[in-house]
Amino acid sequence: MPVTASPLRFPGGKAKYAKFFEKIIELNNFDNMIFVEPFAGGAGAAMTLLLEGIVREVILNDIDPKIYAFWYSLLNNSAEFLELLRTTPISVPEWRKQKRKFNSSESILELGFATFYLNRCNRGGILAANPIGGINQNSKYMISARFNKPNLERKIRRIIDLKESITLFNKDALDFMNDLKSNYSGRELLIYLDPPYIRKGKLLYYNHYNEKNHIDLRATISQCPFPWVLSYDSHPLIFRIYKEHKIRTKSLNYSLSKPRVAEELIISNLKIPEDSNVRERRQGNYASSRRKPYNN
């Protein structure tokens, strides 16, 4: 199996959470769960769990029309998407062409492929970034460094083979969560919420959150009738608005500019497996910083 199941690259991509969710499913005696990601992005956790047969179905939602266009095109225009993958050159002139389509195309297939192209070519997978190696390609790593076409085609074909088990939405995450309550009442859902990072949110996401958005999400989660797991970058705001919940930390490896280990916060209404990488974090650790103004 490829190192990651998703064809997309994202800073802090959550494919590494798949084993964690497998343990959660086992610990809580879940069976035949539908795995839901309201902030799908690359959907690394969902795709891994589906492809490995841990869950039978996934529901993906992303408000970003460009990310939605990618998933829609892959699932509904599969042959055309694969043909573009095979025939589109990987070069700076083509990158400029795809950038223009990304910014202005009215074709969902063109927009979806342009999103995929920039994600694979750009530094860190960030859609607003320059290509790997820079415009002048005078670096050790070039624009094609993360664009292995045969490997990507294998990943995409595996997802296409299971597309009947994937449901896709393009809604605001809070509206989507509220719709789940009425449209999936009585169904066995496990919801994984991975909202935009608080720190560097404006850099990493086209649809970043401000403080009110994070607080509104907290209110929506409090009314959620389904099992849920929430992950955040570590920030005093989260300790403040989720002070009624047990907050755990999880260590993850990142490599946006250079390899490093970062701490993410895990909050849930479920039993959570604890190991060397998952530990309870006491709110007092942030007591001295709670009064600082919110700043992302």
Domain boundary among 166, 199, 224: 166
Tell me: do 10 and 107 sit in the same domain: no
188 with 253, same domain: the answer is: yes
Same domain assignment for residues 180 and 52? yes
pLDDT band at 207 (very low <50, low <70, confident <90, very high): low
- Do 54 and 72 lie in a common domain? no
Q: Are residues 196 and 294 in the same domain?
A: yes
| Contact status, residue 127 vs residue 206, Cβ threshold 8 Å | yes
Which of 20-34, 124-138, 233-247, 256-270 has the weakest average pLDDT? 256-270
* Residue 274 CA, distance from chain mean position: 23
Across the chain, mean pLDDT equals: 87
Predicted local distance difference test score (pLDDT) of residue 287: 39
Which residue among 138, 166, 194 closes a domain?
166
- Reported as a single tens digit per residue, the pLDDT across 59-98 is 999 999 999 999 999 999 999 999 999 999 999 999 999 9
Q: Is the same domain home to 210 and 224?
A: yes
pLDDT at 26: 95
Q: What is the CATH number of the domain that holds 106?
A: 1.10.1020.10
pLDDT value at residue 289: 36
188 and 287 both lie in a single domain: yes
pLDDT tens-digit series, residues 89-105: 999 999 999 999 999 99
Mean pLDDT calculated for residue range 31-45: 95
Q: How far apart are CA 198 and CA 136, in angstroms?
A: 32
Answer yes or no: do 126 and 184 share one domain. Answer: no
Which tens digit of pLDDT belongs to each residue from 125-171? 999 999 999 999 999 999 999 999 999 999 999 999 999 999 999 99
Q: Using DSSP bridges, classify how beta strands 260-268 and 278-280 pair: parallel, antiparallel or unpaired.
A: unpaired
- Considering only 14-18, 95-99, 169-173, 200-204, which range has the smallest mean pLDDT? 200-204
Distance CA 93, CA 43 (A): 29
Which one has a higher pLDDT value, 212 or 277? 212
Q: Is residue 231 scored above 80 in pLDDT? A: yes
* 91 φψ region: left (φ > 0), alpha (ψ -120 to 50), beta (else): beta
CA separation for the pair 249, 264 (Å, rounded)? 5
Q: In terms of residues, how long is the chain? A: 296
The pLDDT value recorded for residue 279 is 63
One domain, residues 53 and 182: yes
Name 248's bridge partners. Answer: 266, 280
Do residues 83 and 94 both lie within one domain? Answer: yes
The whole domain housing 80 covers: 66-166
What confidence score (pLDDT) does residue 92 get? 98
- Asked if residue 119 lies in contact with residue 90, where contact means CB atoms within 8 angstroms, the answer is no
180, 234: one domain: yes
50 with 107, same domain: the answer is: no
CA distance 216 to 114: 32
**pTM (predicted TM-score):** 0.88
Which of 106, 133, 166 is where one domain is finished? 166
Number of domains within the chain: 2
State the burial class of residue 180 (Cβ atoms within 10 Å of its Cβ: 0-12, 13-18, 19+): buried
